[in-house]
């Protein structure tokens, strides 16, 4: 075989392998029985809402924020974003403004907008908050060691315990 035919054969083989890989990656979503929301968002633009938030005399603190965010589930795995370890940082200033930065398990998460909107809505339920600000940064690294509670148990059932300890 001459060099030109070998090059064309390699290109065709590469295209076929990439196509097969794409097919393998999309098959689970094609055969899934229930429809999940698909959303897209600019991950570097924060979600902000300063609408009406109920007031009370208790301070706005991280435990109340985490309790509110624990009600938000990742629709892909049906686990709380808190259990999954997606909350990266929480800040509350003296004016009772809440700022939360969260990450995702993968930068290409198809539910980024859905999770962001649900988290923002949960933050708005915290009594006494003046403004709520949520930024999703998919570039913050996530690994299985961040899992907690039921999420960790599920992961341990699926994978070896060594992968949790090695990260």
pLDDT tens digits along 12-44: 999 989 888 887 777 766 665 555 444 445 555
pLDDT value, residue 29: 63
Question: Taking the domain 47-165, which CATH number applies?
Answer: 3.30.300.130
pLDDT value, residue 38: 44
End-to-end CA distance of the chain: 48
pLDDT tens digits along 79-134: 888 988 999 999 888 888 888 899 888 888 888 888 888 998 998 888 888 888 88
Q: What totals of helices (H) and strands (E) does the chain contain, helices first? A: 5, 6
Within its chain, how far is the Cα of 102 from the centroid?
8
Q: How far apart are CA 33 and CA 121, in angstroms?
A: 27
pLDDT tens digits along 42-52: 555 556 555 55
Q: How far apart are CA 113 and CA 41, in angstroms?
A: 5
Identify the bridge partners of residue 102 per DSSP, sorted by sequence position. Answer: 87, 136
More confident: 153 or 162: 153
The encoded tokens of residue 34 equal: 């229930």
Cβ atoms of 47 and 116 closer than 8 Å:
yes
pLDDT value, residue 160: 60
Within its chain, how far is the Cα of 129 from the centroid?
24
Q: Is the whole model's pTM more than 0.75, yes or no?
A: no
Q: Where are the domains of the chain?
A: 1-33, 47-165
Q: How far apart are CA 144 and CA 153, in angstroms?
A: 11
CA distances from 12 to 5, 44, 145 (A): 10, 38, 40
């Amino acid at each position: 075989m001459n060099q030109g035919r070998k090059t064309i054969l390699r290109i065709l083989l590469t295209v076929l392998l990439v196509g097969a890989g794409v097919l393998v990656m999309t098959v689970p979503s094609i055969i899934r029985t229930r429809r999940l929301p698909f959303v897209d968002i600019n991950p570097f633009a924060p979600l902000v809402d300063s609408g009406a938030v109920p007031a009370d005399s208790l301070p706005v603190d991280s435990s109340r924020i985490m309790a509110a965010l624990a009600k938000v589930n990742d629709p892909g795995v049906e686990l709380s974003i808190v259990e999954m370890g997606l909350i990266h940082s929480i800040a509350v200033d003296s004016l009772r403004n809440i700022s939360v930065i969260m990450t995702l398990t993968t930068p290409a998460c198809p539910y980024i907008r859905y999770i962001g909107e649900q988290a923002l809505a949960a933050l708005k339920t915290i009594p006494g908050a003046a403004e709520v600000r949520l930024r999703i940064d998919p570039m913050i690294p996530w690994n299985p060691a961040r899992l907690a509670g039921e999420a960790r148990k599920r992961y341990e059932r699926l994978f070896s315990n060594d992968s949790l300890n090695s990260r």
